[in-house]
Structures are given as C-alpha cells and as structure tokens.
Chains A and B, each alone.
Chain A
Amino acid sequence: MGNILTISPHAFSGFVAVAVLLVALLALFALAVVGVAARRAAWVGAVVYGGTAMVCAVVALWAGFALAGRSGAETITLPMGLPWIGAHLRADGLSAFFLLVVNFGGVTASLFGWGYERAQAGEHGGGHGHGDTGPVLPFFPLFLAGMSLVLLADDAFTFLVSWEFMSLTSWLLVLSTHREPDTSEAARLYLIMASAGTACLLLAFGLLASGAGDYQFDAIRQHAPTAGAAAMVVLLILLGAGSKAGLVPLHVWLPLAHPAAPSHVSALMSGVMTKVAIYAMIRVLFDLLGEPVWWWGGALMIVGAVTAVMGVLYALMQDDVKRLLACSTIENIGVIVIALGLALVFKASHTPVIAALALSAALLHVVNHSLFKSLLFFVAGAILTATGSRDLNRLGGLIHRMPVTAVLALIGAAAISALPPLNGFVGEWLLFQAILNAPALPEWSLKIGIAVVGAAVALAAALAAACFVRLYGVAFLGRPRSSEAAGAGEVGVAMLVGMMIPAVLCVLLGVLPTFVIRLFEPAVRAMVEAGPFDDRSYQPWIWLAPTSAIGNSYNGLIMLAAIAALSIPLVLVIHRWASDKVRWSTAWGCGHAEPDPTALSQYSASSFAQPIRRAFGGTVFNAQDRVEMPEPGDTRPARLTALWTDPAWAYLFTPIRRAVNWLADHVDVLQFLTIRSYLTLMFTALVVVLALVAVVRS
C-alpha cells in the first residue's frame, strides 16, 4: 500500500535529471536578462513572471517525481568556479524535497506577483500603489535560481557562492522599493547581517574541511571533525544559518527587511528563503558532521523555544500587517528548529525511528509554513493593493468589500493557528508526538528540558492563535476605520488564483497528510536512516499513525467528515423546526452603539493586544502603557502611548553598534597622521615581523 506513489525511477534519474536542472537554471538566467533588456516593454512582466512560473513548475514536478521514485542521489561536476575544485552539484532526497518547496513557492509567487505588479501600475483602475515597484523583474528569477543552487551545492565553495548570490539578489529585491523611507535602513541592516552570517558559514565550512583537507561534501562526510571543532561548527552554523532563518537574537533584520520588499518577494523571503537556511542547518548538522552529540540538539531546542515564544510576542506588538507576518515567521522557524533539535537528540541516542518522527514533523512544518505564510503575505499584498495601507489601525470591514480574499485569509489564519482539520494542526500534532517520546532518553536534563520546551511550543501556538485572531478581526471584521478601507475593492484574478492555490493545499494537506509525509520520506531516510512509519505492522494512508513509544493516531478525514456530518443536519434541523427569521438593525452594544458616529471607537490592533501585552510584555519587553489624561474641562484629547523595547536591540545590537562606533572613532585617528608617523608605523611593523621570524626560526 505504500507504493501508491512510486513511478519508475529510471526516467528521472541520471542524465535526464541533470539536464532538467541545468536547463532550468539557464532559463532563469535568460529570463533575468530579458527582464533587464526589455524593461520598458509592456509585455515584459507577463513574460518574466510567466516564464519563471513555468520553469519553477517544471523543477517542482521533477523534484516531486524524484522523491516519489525514491531514486538515489545524482551528482554532476561542472567545470566552473575555482580551478582545482569545479562546481559539484548533487540532488539527493533532502535537496529534492527543498527544491519542491522552493519552486512551488516560486510558482505561486510568480502568479501573484504578476497580478500584483499590474495592479500597482494602475492597470486595474485607481491603483493605490504607493511608489512604483521598481526594478524587481531582473532579480526575481535570479533569486529563485540562487536558492535552487544552494540546495544543489555539493561542495563548500559552490554552497557559499550560491548563498551569497541568494543574499545579494534578495537584498536588491528589498531595495527595489527604495522610494519608501524605511527601505534603506532595512536594506543596510539586512546586508550587514547577511554578510556576518556568510562569514560565520565560511568559518564553519573551513572547520569542516580541515579534517578532510578537501571542500567537497563527500570528503567532509568521510572525515568527521574532532569534538571541539564539531562544537564550534554547531555554534557557527547556528549563527550563520540561524541569522538567515531568523533565530532570536539574530532576528532583528527580519521584521524590517521582509516587509520592505514587494509582497510577492516578501512571501518568497519569509516562506522560502528561511527554509533554505533550515536546509543548511539540516545538511550540516545531520549529514556533514557525522554522529551527533546529545547537547547539540539541546542547544537547538533552547534557541528554538526562545525564538518561538519571542517571535509570536513580537508579532503581537506590531501594527503593520507585513511586520506582523514577518515576526510570525520567526515563531514558526523557532518551532521548526525545536523539531530539528529533537531529531538530533533522538539520533544521538540511537533511536532513529523517533528521530525520523521528529524530522518528519520539522519537514512537514517547513511545507506547511511555506504554504500558509505565502498565502498570508499574498493577502497582505491584496490588502495593500486594495486600500493602499499596511497599518492595521486603518483597516476594517474588508470582509464585505473583498469577499474572496477574506475567505482565503480565513483559511490562512486558521491554518497558521493550528486548527484542525487544516495542515498547521498536523505539524503541531506530530511535534507533540515526538515530544511525548522524551522519557526514553537517558539524559536527565534532556528529559526535563523537553517537557519545558513542550510547554513553550504550546504557549507559542496559543499566542499565535491570539495573534491571528487579532489580525483577521481587526483587518477584515468590524467597521472600516478609514476611508481607504471603506473604498476597497476585490483584487484581480491573477492575485486570487495565486492565493487560492496555497489555500486549497492547506486544506488538502490537513485532511490527507500521510501522502506528503510518505512523499518526503526519502529526505528523512537520507538524514537519519529510518522512516517515521518503520516498525509499524500496517501502513495506513488515511490514518496518520507514526511509530512512537507513546502516542496515538490522527485522522484528518474522519475529523472533517464528522464535522460535516454534525453541522449540516444541525443547520437543516434548526432552520426547519426552530426558526429562520432574520431582522437587520443597528448593533446592540449594550445600548452604547447608537449614537456612535465614528468607527474608531471599536477595538484597534493595539487595544486587542493590551491584555497580552500587560500579562507578558512587562517582563519581556518592558512594555508600558502611558496615559496622558488632561484635566476635566481641558479640551485636548487624552493620549495613550504603548511603549516597548526589543531586548535584542537593547542588550545586544545597540551595545555592539556603540562598541563599533567607539572603535571606529578611535581608529579614525589613523587617517590623519603625518607622513613621518606612517613611515614609523610601517618600519615598526616590518621590524616586528622580522624579529618574529627570527625567533621562530631559531
């Protein structure tokens, strides 16, 4: 029964696979050239986006079939790059899975982006677009090509070059909205963090290659580094890939840079680029470092737990729709990293089947998050197109003016809040099954630590639900808080289709998750040498019943069927026998609703977050609500200011910035010395080096 998805492997392996991938990459480069050369033409948007969508669809299909066919790894060496290395590319199960995720995201983003840019350019009448979209077209296919190259890289050099390429193209895409005031700050911070991250990765790969003497991943696999070097590598990977993924406290660039880009690019950055960083982590920690030690997983879990809780608390403080979504990405990355930590811990204690369970939870969450985060960013783009505003406090009542978008947004919000029978819940359920296996571990601190991490995951999930009730309730429900929101209209078909695809998949994956888990089982097997359904006597396809010492099974289809079976007769019975009369009138509001001329008296975004801000924000963010109340008789309005500080900025980056500035000020003196001083410096340096050589030689 498990072979329902097996296709003959021979058609998609070897030469064909390589040819497909290389042609796809070349096609993306060609589209970029077209985007530059023909940028004034009217058809360029359709060609570039359409071409990108088709190329990405082909690659995604190839990756899907490669996974289903369970073919092994294919490699190829290209005669590019450094002369004695060449560029090694390799596609195994893990790469194929992430290629599927990345390119599927590319397809939906291209579709949505095409409609979005047309709307922004005013073709759909009265475009509220603020600022033009700028030069997005050439870099969009390059960004996707860069990400795919990272996934295919098989030696450190190719990996780092592709990583930098990906960062640079995304930086340029962030800069494409350069007319807006926040963008330059966001882009500069992004460039600094990305460069620092790449430096850490460089060091990490250097350490990895030191044992092997060779940069190829195959050689690194054969020669695992020593314990001390491995510990350093883990730390550097957490710093390098973690800053790209958005782990606290290296997340500070994410809420600034992701929203600054155009909406379809934000969807790619949040939904897909962060997953490439996760891929880097998995590749190094599970594959290249060899046998893991138990505390690596523990460190990942602690970082992940802090990230998850802090991320969702950040999201609850934001009033800008896209910043909120970016902070929510931080939370989901935290959850994924927790699952990765669990998988490492179980792999270290030689229970590969449970490790496969945890890794499946992580990979499933990768898929889920890329789907619903893309959907939500597209919704944000639709809102921006329709109302011209990203500020939650200026939205409201959009469910009446944008009915289709509202339904799709509801699906996205429900999915990210882990409500059954949608896909977010399945990911959380799998993660809890993995957490329930904690008592089997030998180390005490792990046993207790995983219980605490489980509480953190539950807390993050509950806060995420609160966050998305806030987003949906303030933006779509209630009454419009501004004239732009009152005058919004539904967006175009291309954007709607771009949103509908992830929404439908969210529902499908929630109801039939076993298909997807079986699909990426080769990726899991490549990393931990076991699958989540091993040791199970029967292989179900409707039930999700992973192998677990403690646990249960879940059936999304029965859940959906039960809800339908109960609700439909309920509606019919009540309407038939109770009453079906409806009268429309003004809202009751305990008698306070009339006369109420302004829609601003309803709850705003910051009012909704106030109880949570007060319960959690006081300790974490030093959040205060300051009220300035004028004396009776004074006609000035009362003013409520909600203040909070980000501890990452306050305790980490501002001191670093001050230290760097201090250092720069003091080193600056070197610019203004006399010629004699420079000569003296050079002479002293030369004498010292010669003396050192003399001492060492003797």
Chain B
Amino acid sequence: MIDIGYDAAHLLGALVLLTSFALLYQRRLFSLLNVFTVQALALSGAAAWQGYAHDEPHLYITAILTLALKAIAIPVALHRIIQRLHIERTVEPALGIGLTMVAGVSLVTLSILLVLPVTENATALTREDLALSLSVVLLGLLMMISRRNAVSQVVGFMSIENGLILAAVGVAGMPLVVEMSIAFSVMVAFIIFGIFLFQIRERFETLDMRKIESFRGESD
C-alpha cells in the first residue's frame, strides 16, 4: 500500500534536486540566493523527516544545523557581501541556458544509471537518496563550471555540500562528530571565501572570473 513516509522523504529529496536545477537557471544574484535558501530548507526538512520516520534523534540536530547555517546564516552573509561590494546583480551563464539544462538532465540520468544497478542490495530508500545526492553534487559542480561570477561559484560549492549531506541523511545519518566537523570546516571555508572575495575585489575592482584570469602570469 501507500507508504507516506517513503514518498514524503522522496519528495523532499526531489525538491532538493529541483532547486539545484533552478540554481542553474537563475539570472539574478538575489533570486539565486533565494533558491539556495529553499534548497537548504528542503534539506533540513528531509533530515528532520528522516529523523522522525526512522526514530534517530541526531538527524534532528543535522536538520537544525542545516537550517541555521545554510538556510539563514550563509544567505544573509552573502546578501551583505553582495551589497557591500556592489557586485553586479545579473549573472549570465557561460553556456546557454538550453545547453546547461540538457547537461543537467544528462548528469541526473548518469547518476541514476550509476547508482541503481550498483546498489542492488541496499534498501530502496537508500538507493534513491544516493542517486539523488550524486545528482545534486554533479549539478553543483556543473554550476561551478558554468558560471563566471565568484558568488555563484560559492553558491555552487555550497550546493555540492548540500548533496553530500543529503547522501548522509539517506544512509541513516553520519555520526554527530563527523557532522559537526564537516559543518565547521564548511563555515571556515566560507569565511575564507568571504575574505578572499573582499581582497580580490579591492585589488582588481572586479569579481568577474574572466577578467581576473587575464591577470595570471603577468607579474613577471
């Protein structure tokens, strides 16, 4: 019969995947941040639901961490950075939108083709969560390579990490210690990113990667 728990977990995972697609599609930085917030919310919802359905309280902590850091702190901080540095609000993707979307669907198909036959022995929910999270990771990578703006690359990196958390949630949670250390390392990486962005902006007056690349190797 129907297994609402199963289907709800599946839906939330699919929502994370859909938001990764939407991230590829966005043209404006603020809407990019909004979509990222939705992704983080969906992820914390998925973690909380898994904690409820499988009766594992430490997943609740994962959910709260994700909510606090990814859904609130990081978007607010990026918002501030964008306003402070007067970053260009519109971003053009490097490949055309059509090509990016086709690449996205191919990556999802690739992850499904990879994961499903390999994990024949695991439970169904685990297999699908692994397929979904691999897709989210690949889409995050695609976003990093198909964007020129530094802020969008940071968001892409964050969404890769979201994919990894989704995988962890699906495999009935990582130990809390590992969870906390990953969260802290992401936080540290993020702070370093922020400092870097400020410094790059001050030195080069721009955060557009193409223009910055042209400075390579010219100091000699």
Mark A residues whose CB is within 8 Å of B.
Answer: 444-445, 448, 452, 615, 618-619
Contact of B96 among A445, A452, A618 (CB under 8 A): A618
Is the CB of B98 closer than 8 A to any CB of chain A?
yes
List 13 interface pairs A-B (beta carbons < 8 Å), by A numbering.
Answer: A444-B112, A444-B113, A444-B116, A445-B113, A448-B109, A448-B112, A448-B113, A452-B109, A618-B96, A618-B98, A619-B96, A619-B98, A619-B99
B117, CB-defined interface residue at 8 Å: yes
B101 CB to closest chain A CB (Å) equals: 11
Query: Which chain B residue has the least Cβ–Cβ distance from A615?
Result: B98
CB distance from B85 to the nearest CB of A (A): 33
Q: Nearest chain B CB to A462's CB is how many angstroms away? A: 16
The answer for the CA separation of A445 and B110 in the assembled complex, in Å, is 9
Instruction: For the A-B complex with A444-B112, A444-B117 known, give 13 more contacts whose Cβ atoms are closer than 8 Å.
Output: A444-B113, A444-B116, A445-B113, A448-B109, A448-B112, A448-B113, A452-B109, A615-B98, A618-B96, A618-B98, A619-B96, A619-B98, A619-B99
Complex CA gap A452/B102 in Å reads 11
In the complex, chain A residues whose CB is within 8 Å of the CB of B117: 444
User: 10 smallest A-B Cβ distances: which pairs?
Assistant: A448-B109, A444-B113, A619-B99, A445-B113, A444-B117, A619-B98, A619-B96, A444-B116, A618-B96, A448-B113
Number of A-B contacts (CB under 8 A): 15
Residues of A within 8 A of B112 (CB): 444, 448
| Nearest A residue to B105, CB-CB | A452
Q: Which residue of B lies closest to A445 (CB)?
A: B113
B98 CB contacts on chain A under 8 angstroms: 615, 618-619
Residue of A nearest to B106 (CB): A452
Chain B residues within an 8 Å CB radius of A619 = 96, 98-99
B96 to A, closest residue via Cβ:
A619
**Residues of B bordering A, CB below 8 Å:** 96, 98-99, 109, 112-113, 116-117
Q: How far, in Å, is A199 (CB) from chain B's closest CB?
A: 35
Q: Within 8 Å CB of A445, what residues of B?
A: 113
B-side contacts of A618, CB under 8 Å: 96, 98
CA distance A619 to B101 in the complex (A): 12
Bound complex: CA A619 to CA B113 (Å):
26
**Complex: how many Å from CA A513 to CA B169?**
54
Query: Closest chain A residue to B97 by CB distance?
Result: A619
Chain A residues whose CB sits within 8 angstroms of the CB of B116 once the complex forms: 444
CA distance A452 to B105 in the complex (A): 10
Q: In the assembly, what is the distance between CA of A499 and CA of B116, in Å?
A: 54
The smallest beta-carbon distance between B24 and chain A, in angstroms, is 15
What is the bound-complex CA distance between A444 and B109, given in angstroms? 10
- Cα distance A618–B96 in the bound complex, in angstroms: 9
- Shortest CB-to-CB span from B51 to chain A, Å, is 31
Q: How far is the CB of B94 from chain A (nearest CB, A)?
A: 13
Residues of B within 8 A of A452 (CB): 109
Alpha-carbon separation in the docked complex, A444 to B113 (Å): 7
A445 to chain B, nearest CB (A): 6
CA distance A618 to B98 in the complex (A): 10
Please measure, in the bound complex, the distance between the C-alpha atom of A61 and the C-alpha atom of B110, giving whole angstroms: 51
Residues of B within 8 A of A615 (CB): 98
Cα of A156 to Cα of B99 in the assembled complex, Å: 45
Closest A residue, CB atoms, query B102: A619
Query: Which residues of A lie under 8 Å from residue B113 when comparing CB positions?
Result: 444-445, 448
- In the complex, chain A residues whose CB is within 8 Å of the CB of B96: 618-619
Bound complex: CA A364 to CA B109 (Å) = 32
- What's the least CB distance linking B12 to chain A, in Å? 23
Nearest B residue (CB) for A618: B96
A391 to B103, alpha carbons, bound, how many Å? Answer: 38
Question: Which B residue sits closest to A449, measured CB to CB?
Answer: B109
Give A619 to B96 CA distance when docked, in angstroms. 8
Distance of A530 Cα from B36 Cα, bound (Å) = 54
**Which residues from chain A contact B109 at a C-beta distance below 8 Å?**
448, 452
Residue of B nearest to A616 (CB): B98
Q: In the complex the two chains form, what is the Cα distance from A448 to B117 in whole Å?
A: 13
State the CA gap A452–B109 with chains docked (Å). Answer: 10
In whole Å, how far is A289's beta carbon from the nearest beta carbon of chain B? 27
Chain B residues near A444 (CB, 8 Å)? 112-113, 116-117
Distance A71 CA – B98 CA, assembled complex (angstroms): 53
| Bound-complex Cα distance A444 to B99 (A) | 24
Complex: A444 Cα to B96 Cα, angstroms: 29
A362 to chain B, nearest CB (A): 26
A531 to B96, CA, bound (A): 46
Tell me, in angstroms, the Cα distance from A452 to B106 when the chains sit together: 10
Complex CA–CA separation, A618 to B97 (angstroms): 11
A621 to chain B, nearest CB (A): 13
With the chains together, A444 CA to B116 CA distance in Å?
Answer: 8
Please give, as numbers and ranges, the residues of chain B lying within 8 Å of A448 by CB-CB distance: 109, 112-113
Cα–Cα distance between A452 and B96 once the two chains are bound (Å): 21
Q: How far is the CA of A63 from the CA of B39 in the complex (A)?
A: 64
Shortest CB–CB separation between residue A61 and chain B, in angstroms? 50
How many whole Å from B212's CB to the nearest CB in chain A? 27
CA distance A618 to B113 in the complex (A): 30
Shortest distance in angstroms between A169's beta carbon and chain B's nearest beta carbon?
43
CB B23 to nearest CB in A, in angstroms, measures: 21
A618, B95: Cα distance in complex, Å:
11
Instruction: Kindly provide the distance from the CB of A464 to the nearest chain B CB, expressed in whole angstroms.
Output: 20
For A448, A452, A618, which residue has the most chain B Cβ atoms within 10 angstroms? A448
Q: Shortest distance in angstroms between A449's beta carbon and chain B's nearest beta carbon?
A: 8
CB distance from B29 to the nearest CB of A (A): 25
Measured between alpha carbons, how far is A445 from B109 in the docked complex, in Å? 9
**Docked complex Cα distance between A615 and B97 (Å):** 11
> Which residues from chain A contact B99 at a C-beta distance below 8 Å?
619
CB of A74, distance to nearest CB on chain B (Å):
47
Nearest-CB residue, chain A, relative to B99: A619
A102 to B134, CA, bound (A): 52
Write the nearest CB–CB distance from B138 to chain A, whole angstroms.
Answer: 16
Q: How far is the CB of A305 from chain B (nearest CB, A)?
A: 13
Cα distance, A606 to B96, chains bound together (Å): 23
**Taking CB as reference atom, which chain A residue is nearest B108?**
A448
Nearest Cβ on chain A to B130's Cβ, whole angstroms: 15
Residue of A whose beta carbon sits closest to that of B114: A444
Shortest CB-to-CB span from B110 to chain A, Å, is 10
Least distance between A454 CB and chain B CB atoms (Å): 14
**Complex-state Cα separation, A452 to B113, whole angstroms:** 14
CB proximity of A459 to chain B, nearest CB, Å: 12
Across the interface, name the chain B residue whose C-beta is closest to A443: B117
Give Cα distance in the complex from A171 to B167, angstroms: 61
Nearest CB on B from A35, distance (A): 53
- Shortest A563–chain B CB gap in Å is 37
Min CB gap B173→A, angstroms: 28
Q: In the complex, A397 Cα to B99 Cα: how many Å?
A: 39
Output the least CB separation between A450 and chain B (Å): 12
In whole Å, how far is A682's beta carbon from the nearest beta carbon of chain B? 56
Name the distance in Å between B111's Cβ and chain A's nearest Cβ. 11
* Minimum distance in angstroms from B96 CB to a CB of chain A: 6
In the assembled complex, the CB of B170 is this many whole angstroms from the nearest CB of chain A, namely 20
Measured CB to CB, the nearest residue on chain B to A451 is B109
CA separation between A619 and B98, bound complex, in Å? 8
What's the nearest-Cβ distance from chain B to residue A439, in Å? 14
Question: For the complex, what is the distance from the CA of A626 to the CA of B117, rounded to whole Å?
Answer: 49
Roughly how many angstroms separate A615 CA and B98 CA in the complex, as a whole number? 9
Nearest CB on A from B193, distance (A): 32
Q: In the complex, how many angstroms separate the beta carbon of A309 from the nearest chain B beta carbon?
A: 12
